[in-house]
Amino acid sequence: MRYFELGPTSETVAPKWRWSLAGKRPWRLPGTECPSCEAGGATIALNYPSVDLSELSEEREYRRPRFAPWDEYVRLRDRALPLMPQGAVVRPGTAMGPLAGRLRGLPPPVAMDAPWNLFAQPEGVERLLGAGLRGIKPVPTALKVGRDVPPSLELELQVGGDYAPECRPPLVGEPCPMCGTQRRGLAPYRWWLDPAALPETDVFRFRHNPACTIASERFVEVLRSMGDTGIRATEIAPPAAREMGALT
């Protein structure tokens, strides 16, 4: 099975799909820094739109993006963890809840406004599910749309995958006893996936870089059948395969 990295293209798409999106999520874990190893910061790509924190007594504490002490981050993370999807990867800055804001224009059946956001119209969801693709989890957004524009959905993506052993960055030192982080060497410029570590889904976020959305060739074939969606698909393949011309 071939795999591709997805992202919005800078090229102009068909005029009928001219659209723009401005929105934010209701809840977010604060950014932080581990006091032991100083790992931390905040991610911008781990989003779980299906998670609802409205019943938590601390709900308001998730509404203001901020940098917080480690103990405060751990407390809020642990309260939210039981509400996360199975297998969710949770890090500082993880955002939750449906995207709210304004969608202008008419997006294509499947669309991206950033490499880590994947949206779909009801028509697009129907085609993805009709093709038997795995891991398609559409979640309603709270975006305001124009007249005669169907409600927009967001695909909640699983996190998974790993570098192939031949290009996997080496581990450095031991895992931090407090946060569990283990540093790695620099990621290679050219990398490819370990077939033994692929999740059972046709589209997912890459574990080592959640801002990277990866899709199977089955997903890309359905995407291409929809015409010009403004999404580019760049194949992830070992250099030898590319040099042999076996993959196009």
pLDDT digits (tens, 9 = 90+) for 161-191: 999 999 999 988 899 999 988 888 887 888 9
Cβ-count burial of 162 within 10 angstroms (0-12 exposed, 13-18 middle, 19+ buried)? middle
Reported as a single tens digit per residue, the pLDDT across 216-228 is 999 999 999 999 8
In this prediction, residue 241 has a pLDDT band, given cuts at 50, 70 and 90, of: low
**Read out DSSP for 187-228?**
PPSS--B-GGG--SSSEEEETTEEEEEEEEHHHHHHHHTT--
**Residue 12: predicted pLDDT:** 52
| Maximum CA extent, the chain | 59
- Neighbour-count burial of 94, counting CB atoms closer than 10 A to its CB (0-12 exposed, 13-18 middle, 19+ buried): buried
Among 216, 217, 240, CA closest to 166: 240
Average pLDDT over residues 75-82: 97
Long-range Cβ pairs for the range 83-88 (8 Å, 24+):
83/51, 83/52, 83/53, 84/48, 84/51, 85/48, 85/50, 85/51, 85/156, 85/158, 87/158, 87/159, 87/160, 88/48, 88/159
Please tell me the distance from the alpha carbon of residue 107 to that of residue 182, in angstroms, as a whole number: 40
Residue 239 vs residue 166, higher pLDDT: 166
**In this structure, are residues 28 and 93 in contact, taking their beta carbons and an 8 Å threshold?**
yes
pLDDT band of 13, cuts 50, 70, 90: low
Q: What share of the chain is helix, strand, coil (3-state, %, to 5)?
A: 20, 30, 50
pLDDT of the residue at 11: 60
Q: How confident is the model at residue 14 (pLDDT cuts 50, 70, 90)?
A: low
Distance of alpha carbon 185 from the chain centroid: 23
Alpha carbons 7 and 67: distance in angstroms, whole number: 29
Indicate the residue type of 39.
A
User: Mean pLDDT lowest for which of 139-153, 196-210, 230-244?
Assistant: 230-244
Going from N- to C-terminal start, the domains of the chain cover 26-53+60-96, 100-157, 159-243
Query: Do strands 32-33 and 209-216 pair parallel, antiparallel, or not at all (unpaired)?
Result: unpaired
Give the total residue count for the chain. 248
Mean pLDDT of the chain: 91
